């Protein structure tokens, strides 16, 4: 990419998209175009086609998606499947029509089979049944990967796919019903500390293991791969290290300064037993993450306190 290349970041106000924008600007890429969902409904094909025809971006980071945790994925199954299918199909097709130089599609580690061997290698895609609670979201993301492959195969488009592990960081979603586990824990422990609560209840048994990557490290990896990776096959982006939910909760408890007890509600679902990414392909390109989990949680907690505790969270 040249410093004056026109770069469209779809989903620029989300945690991932905003991190990509920050990383681009920090590296001297200032010709960034973006639209809010109020300005451009990415589910509307004609609106997306008109936007691409008018703006003609050179590069596209497709980070726009409808996202959420176990509860949101399992409750809004139709919305998660429909919205994500429409968003990715409209953008990828418009990018082909306008001859975009390169597009990066961002998926999710939930694309892999529920009981796939660990760590998750890229070739395990479609090797078995998915985790039922987030199957609609996973199917949409798999469709996005296959769209990129198909447009490459049929039309020669340089469309690549990357699969991030669980993410957290600045501009995260802290809604207790619709957020992912780490931001939910940050909010729970913070509010428990503020309210003088005796305990914090965590969903599940605490035994599932998860890998976490700071969103700014993901953005760093995305920029790196946009400039250095041009292959058909998807690439996992993660740390290659995981931690149990129990250990994670204890870490968040320490960072937030909560002094009470930790209780696990075993009537709530655990989700996938383990999700650790095999990141050897990423490491072989020369990229490694920089921000470790304790430091990242402290950064996220500071961001949460600055942006969310000043106003009442509904």
Q: Residue 276 corresponds to which tokens in the numbers above?
A: 């650790």
Catalytic residue among 137, 168, 170, 287: 137
13 is in an annotated binding site: yes
272 is in an annotated binding site: no
Q: Is 151 a catalytic residue?
A: no
Helix or strand (DSSP H, E) at 33: strand 32-33
278 is in an annotated binding site: no
Helix axes 45-55, 77-97, angle to 10 degrees: 30
232 is in an annotated binding site: no
Distance CA 199, CA 310 (A): 24
109 is in an annotated binding site: yes
Distance CA 110, CA 84 (A): 14
Other C-beta atoms closer than 10 Å to the C-beta of 106 total: 25
16 is in an annotated binding site: yes
166 is in an annotated binding site: yes
Segments in the chain forming alpha helices (H): 15-26, 45-55, 70-75, 77-97, 135-155, 181-195, 215-228, 245-256, 280-284, 293-308
Q: Residue 116 corresponds to which tokens in the numbers above?
A: 């796939």
107 is in an annotated binding site: yes
226 is in an annotated binding site: no
Q: Which residues are catalytic?
A: 137
Binding-site residues for substrate, in ranges, read 188, 203, 210, 270
Binding-site residues, in ranges, read 11-17, 106-109, 141, 164-167, 180, 188, 203, 210, 270
């Amino acid at each position: 990419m040249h410093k004056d290349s026109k770069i469209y970041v779809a989903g620029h106000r989300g945690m991932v998209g905003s991190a990509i924008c920050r990383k681009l600007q920090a590296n001297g890429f200032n010709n960034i175009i973006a639209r809010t969902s109020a300005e451009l409904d990415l589910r509307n094909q004609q609106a997306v086609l008109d936007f691409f025809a008018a703006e003609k971006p050179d590069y596209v980071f497709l980070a726009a998606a409808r996202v959420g945790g176990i509860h949101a994925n399992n409750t809004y199954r139709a919305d998660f499947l429909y919205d994500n299918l429409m968003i990715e199909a409209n953008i990828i097709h418009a990018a082909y029509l306008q001859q975009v130089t390169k597009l990066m599609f961002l998926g999710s580690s939930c694309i892999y089979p529920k009981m796939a061997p660990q760590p998750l290698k890229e070739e395990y895609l479609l090797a078995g049944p998915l985790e039922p609670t987030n199957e609609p979201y996973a199917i949409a993301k798999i469709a996005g990967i296959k769209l990129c492959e198909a447009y490459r195969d049929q039309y020669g488009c340089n469309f690549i796919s990357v699969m991030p592990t669980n993410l957290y960081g600045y501009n995260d979603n802290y809604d207790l019903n619709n957020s992912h586990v780490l931001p939910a824990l940050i909010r729970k422990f913070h509010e428990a500390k503020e309210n003088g609560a005796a305990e914090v209840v965590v969903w599940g048994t605490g035994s599932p293991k998860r890998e976490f990557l700071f969103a700014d490290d993901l953005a760093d990896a995305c920029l790196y791969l946009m400039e250095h990776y041009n292959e058909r096959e998807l690439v996992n982006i993660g740390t290659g290290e995981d931690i149990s939910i129990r250990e994670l909760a204890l870490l968040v408890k320490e960072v937030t300064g909560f002094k009470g007890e930790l209780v696990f509600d075993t009537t709530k679902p655990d989700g996938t037993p383990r999700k650790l990414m095999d990141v050897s392909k990423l490491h072989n390109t020369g990229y490694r993450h920089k921000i470790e989990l304790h430091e990242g949680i402290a950064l996220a907690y500071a961001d949460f306190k600055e942006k969310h505790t000043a106003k009442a969270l509904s």
